[in-house]
Structure 1
Amino acid sequence: MKISKTLLLLVTATLALSSCSSAQKKTDSTVSLKNAYVKNFYIGTALDTNQILETNPLTTSLIAKEFNSITPENCMKSMFLQPEKDKFDFKMADKYVAFGEKHKMFIHGHTLIWHSQLPSWLSKVKDSVAMSEAMTKHISTIVEKYKGRIGSWDVVNEALNEDGTLRKSVFLNSYGKDFLTHAFKLAAKADPKTDLYYNDYNLCNAKKRKGAVELMKNLQKNGAKIDGVGEQGHWNLITPTLDEIEQTILDFSALGVKVAITELDITVLPNPWDVVGADVSQRAEASEKMNPYPKALPEDIKIQLAARYEAIFKLFIKHQDKISRVTLWGVNDGQSWLNDWPIRGRSNYPLLFDRDFKPKEAYNSVMKLKEEKK
């Protein structure tokens, strides 16, 4: 059958357009944080209960597309996993791990030992023998249950004061300063292959950082397995400085451990003068001055936030050989804990996606860094 030249051209053009359309769709589907930074480090996020349960398909799709590492926001804290002595509740934790496996993500466990969000029975333990037994039961049971499925754990969370000394927690008061060594050894015994981290905020503060370095050196000296430090990125538009962030990465890397940037969010709101860091017990009174953007973020602040994220990620890329993970503390602005801390009911805008899960200027600035490399 003879095909006319006009028909042949029409068919060729149609196929070309179809090919371009398919290529465009492929490009759109592969443009994401995790793909952009796949050769640098994991890009993670913290999941709340609704996200773990996949209650919103659009949210689930966004998480699966953009991130390749996850951290549980709350469901693995002791008050939820062991609400009563020797009675464990793994329902939500199981769903969290299953979410990560389903979407082929790196799964991080958070957290085994923390002075906050404790079950009432654990907060009342007074002597070293009882605390040793409680820690052994808690850590061994949880880590063994998820052995081979959870890639890393925050073994101890926020054990330091701002001056670098050990916090007066129930663990320190009842067991003594070696509770950290005990915790890390228990976790390593329960799963020798999982990575074990110490996690804390304000580590860019020189005194606190020095205390954390000594803490980790002490763990190493006592024969505890310590694979990394989690540097919580609860920062703002100005502080800490890039030099302070860089020095923190260098100081911990010098110990021969990995550095994870955890809980990253950049607040754009003013804080009361006496509130620092990320101590969830701190609270302040609400005022109009402290909630300057209740409806939306002004353009100039959007630009500042984008520039801040760009500068920080540029630094992370510089030190990619030292960094294992960069985890945003939440998926979108509406989920962020900073809407309620240290003042309840404020509107904060600290993440890369807005309340409608749309990418912000800050997202574009982070992605632009990788586009410029091509």
Structure 2
Amino acid sequence: MKPSNFKYQLLFICSIGLFSATFAQNQPTSLKEAFKNDFLVGTALGAEHILEKDAKANQLIKKEFNAITPENHMKSMNIHPEWNKYDFYLGDKFVEYGQKNNMYVVGHTLVWHSQLPRFVGKIKSADSLKLFMTDHINTVAGRYAGKINSWDVVNEAIEDDGTFRKSIFYNLLGEDFIKMAFDLAAKADPKAELYYNDYNNEQPAKRKATIEMIKKLKASGTKIDGVGIQGHWSINSLNTKNIEDAIIEYAALGLKVAFTELDLTVLPNPWDLKGADVNQNFENSPKMNPYPKELPDSVQTTLAQKYEELFKVFLKHQDKIDRITFWGVADNHSWLNGWPVRGRTNYPLLFDRNFEPKKAYNSVMNLKKNNPNL
């Protein structure tokens, strides 16, 4: 070999090595980094996360996510257990957690028909219910004014067929309770973004009704900044066309779109349940709990493929989407282990029970690693 040729080959090899090292250094190492130019990536926190009781979970949350939602502790049953009593301990800790870690903080939720304090169920008059709503929203949203980035103001007010849910709020106040809630929230915390949040609101009938409701709110001068699509879906029936249509139609109203409670169940659903009605529960059986110990590799692959399909849609419309929040940190912290069948073992998230990334995590991350211009 001639010395000159050897020199050029050595330079070529060194150049390849330098390029590979630089490429590796430039690859994103977390969800929040990978999608930093597209949308926020969040997770729902339980009390154990807020209080930092698990070091591995805490490390994962801080590494991967830049937005947080309280799973349960800001719902009225917990934060307002009695008419003249509030419990702000976990709410305060939650907000502190977000602030010290420079995270986008979501308040969830101000008005919801479920997980209400017992005393609310005993209310019989419209005036008393208005008094509760006024005091609750003024007190809770007012306490965190300037510290919460967005509120899920009203949660799940519309049924799948497009009619209003016959909740205590609707039965006593009619659909005006929605406007009332948003107006109170806007006054209590003028800086917070205000969202309407629901499940199945990507499906045509419910989407149409939601759009009509939002148009009425906006026409009346009520402040509403965004719509939250919960995203409790199944790997067996994921409909990306409905999801994409919903993104486009909600954004056309001048609203931000967020996917607020994302998870994909891998378990059978013989009742064809959709969404997230927490009052539904059914008997467990081996047939309904096929993976009690671990998820087969074939199902891991399907889950990864479905998450990849979803995130391709999200990236296509990243200009319209503000946030993607997973409903849980890891598989051990998922409400789907107990719904709609108690005692099942589900695997709906990107991290397993040991807080390790799954194939689904890699499929989502590879969208950006392999296509940085997406």
Taking structure 2 as the reference length, the TM-score comes to 0.92
- Matched with 1:66 is 64
Is 1:111 aligned with 2:109?
Answer: yes
**Could you say what secondary structure the match of 1:348 adopts?**
coil
Residues 1-374 of structure 1 aligned to structure 2 (within 5 Å): 27=25, 31-273=29-271, 275-374=273-372
C-alpha distance after superposition, 1:17-69 (max 9, x if no partner) = xxx9xx99x95996100000000000000001100100012211110000000
Please say if residues 112 and 156 of structure 2, whose CA atoms lie closer than 8 Å, have aligned partners that are also in contact: yes
Structure 2 residue identity aligned to 1:154: D
**Could you say what secondary structure the match of 2:44 adopts?**
strand
C-alpha distance in 2 between matches for 1:328 and 1:203: 17
C-alpha distance in 2 between matches for 1:85 and 1:138: 9
1:204: Cα distance to partner?
2.2
C-alpha distance in 2 between matches for 1:350 and 1:137: 37
C-alpha distance after superposition, 1:311-368 (max 9, x if no partner) = 1001100000100000000010011000100001111000000000000000000000
- Matched with 1:14 is none
**Could you say what secondary structure the match of 2:163 adopts?**
coil
**Runs of 5+ consecutive residues of structure 2 not aligned to the other structure:** 1-17
Deviates more, 1:144-153 or 1:269-278: 269-278
- Matched with 2:4 is none
Structure 2 residue identity aligned to 1:352: L
**Could you say what secondary structure the match of 2:114 adopts?**
coil
**Could you say what secondary structure the match of 1:196 adopts?**
strand
Structure 1 residue identity aligned to 2:318: Q
Structure 2 residue identity aligned to 1:220: K
Please say if residues 304 and 363 of structure 2, whose CA atoms lie closer than 8 Å, have aligned partners that are also in contact: yes
**Could you say what secondary structure the match of 1:138 adopts?**
helix
Please say if residues 127 and 175 of structure 1, whose CA atoms lie closer than 8 Å, have aligned partners that are also in contact: no
1:275: Cα distance to partner?
2.8
1:272: Cα distance to partner?
3.2
C-alpha distance after superposition, 1:45-99 (max 9, x if no partner) = 0001100100012211110000000000000000011100021110010000011
Taking structure 1 as the reference length, the TM-score comes to 0.92
**Could you say what secondary structure the match of 1:193 adopts?**
coil
**Could you say what secondary structure the match of 2:286 adopts?**
coil
> Does the C-alpha gap of structure 1 residues 148 and 216 become closer, same or farther in structure 2, counting only changes over 3 Å?
same
Structure 1 residue identity aligned to 2:300: K
Structure 2 residue identity aligned to 1:204: E
Give the CA RMSD over aligned residues: 1.6
1:130: Cα distance to partner?
1.0
C-alpha distance in 1 between matches for 2:291 and 2:209: 37
Please say if residues 144 and 190 of structure 1, whose CA atoms lie closer than 8 Å, have aligned partners that are also in contact: yes
Please say if residues 50 and 97 of structure 2, whose CA atoms lie closer than 8 Å, have aligned partners that are also in contact: yes
The alignment-based identity, stated in percent, is 56
1:232: Cα distance to partner?
0.6
Structure 2 residue identity aligned to 1:125: I
C-alpha distance in 2 between matches for 1:238 and 1:105: 33
C-alpha distance in 1 between matches for 2:50 and 2:270: 33
**Could you say what secondary structure the match of 1:289 adopts?**
helix
Structure 1 segments of 4+ aligned residues over 2 angstroms from their partners: 26-30
**Residue correspondences, number:** 352
Please say if residues 229 and 258 of structure 2, whose CA atoms lie closer than 8 Å, have aligned partners that are also in contact: yes
C-alpha distance in 1 between matches for 2:301 and 2:69: 28
